[in-house]
Amino acid sequence: MSEKDYTEIKRLLASNDPEEIHQGLVQVRNIFPEVDREEARELVELVSALFYVDLLDHPDQVYVIDEAVSLVADFGEFVVPILLKNLDAGDMKAQLTIGHAMGRVGEAAIDPLLEAYCGDQDECRIFILYALGKIQSPEVIKAFDHALEAAESANDELRDTAVRALGNFVEHIPPEDLIEEDKQRLLDVIQENLAHTSAGVRSKAIRTYGKLARYGHLTADEKIKCRETCELILGADGQYDWDRAYIVRKEAQTALDCLDNDC
């Protein structure tokens, strides 16, 4: 990569004009198969700087930020350590976008993410679990134990993210690969979180319960219990003691609709 190429890419990516940013991303995509490791790192850092753009202030840049996420992910496992370093920056919008990018890297990101998870504090673990929940591979089963533990954390944000990640995991883990002990642990975690004071946590818990049914993880008897739980949340069990939070009832209704359609 010549100094001229680098300078031009840097100029385009620093622009506020979405079309110029797009041109810069195209140039990066065209050049990155030919660059060495150090040059690739420089390009990733240039592109990932776009993750800090506030889309509320720049809604016209939504499509180029998504393009930037895909481009960074196309660098593969190589980008994971670079992105993990940026999780410490404390910028939530960037952290969420980094999570999306690592999720798009896919299966190759799982082991590096788990290695980082074991050495990090709760704040970074939240976004690592968020990223793992975006990976569409049965290999996410490697993260199952960590997510189960986090779903009982005293940190409500970590707990919320973990319960959501578990729901995403069961979409991609074949029922025959989820051992009975782990499934029962997950069912216990769901019941515990259905009693949580946070409506957000409760909604994730009932959503995950519904996904267990939808993706073939529940027996006939377990589906009956899931139905009873949904009806209790909705106040449709004759006791009229429904969950006061609409978001929780909405997720319960979605799960109940799935059960009614014999999912």
pLDDT tens, position by position, 102-153: 889 999 999 999 998 887 677 788 989 999 999 999 999 999 999 999 999 9
- Alpha-carbon distance of 76 to 119, in angstroms, equals 22
pLDDT tens, position by position, 80-111: 888 888 777 667 888 888 888 988 999 999 99
In the predicted model, what is the mean pLDDT of residues 205-226?
A: 96
Give the residue from 210, 212, 204 showing the smallest Cα distance to 230. Answer: 210
Residue the block writes with tokens 């993990």: 84
- pLDDT bucket at 6, cuts 50 / 70 / 90: confident
Q: Output the pLDDT for position 57.
A: 86
Phi-psi region of 136 (alpha: psi -120 to 50; beta: other; left: phi over 0): beta
1-135 carries CATH number 1.10.287: no
pLDDT tens, position by position, 171-207: 999 999 999 999 999 999 999 999 999 999 999 999 9
- Alpha-carbon distance of 23 to 177, in angstroms, equals 45
CATH homologous superfamily, domain 141-263: Leucine-rich Repeat Variant (1.25.10.10)
Helix/strand/coil for 195: coil
pLDDT over threshold 70, residue 250: yes
Is-same-fold flag (1-135; 141-263)? no
- Alpha-carbon distance of 224 to 3, in angstroms, equals 65
Going from N- to C-terminal start, the domains of the chain cover 1-135, 141-263
What is the overall mean pLDDT for the chain? 91
Q: Output the pLDDT for position 243.
A: 87
Name the pTM for this structure.
0.86
Give the residue from 63, 67, 69, 52 showing the smallest Cα distance to 104. Answer: 69
